[in-house]
Amino acid sequence: MTGFNSKRAMANSRHYSNTDNPIDFPSGTPTDSNDEYFAYLDDLRESGVTNMFGASPYLQEEFGLDRYEARDILLQWMQSFNK
């Protein structure tokens, strides 16, 4: 258990603020305003705390998003690797 707690702490060590809620991307393409979310997801991935298919709850908790917003951001982040 100690390893999990320390990895989780590492993933949450960077503070992310959600001041302008940049989820509005109607075209389905990532925007510059998603950089903060994407940086958080990159850190979470590097920490190894969770399989990234289960990362939505982490976004919800960190940024106060609902599950649909978090899922959409996670999907955009995953699709960014196809480019």
DSSP per-residue codes, 60-81? HHHH---HHHHHHHHHHHHHGG
Q: Give percent of the chain with pLDDT exceeding 90.
A: 57
pLDDT in tens, 31-69: 568 999 999 999 999 999 999 999 999 999 999 999 999
Q: Which two tokens stand for residue 73?
A: 């951001």
13-24: pLDDT as tens digits: 454 544 444 444
pLDDT of residue 33: 81
Burial class (CB in 10 A: 0-12, 13-18, 19+), 49: buried
Q: Where are the domains of the chain?
A: 34-83
Sequence-separated (6 or more) residues with CB below 8 Å from residue 65? 18, 23, 59, 73
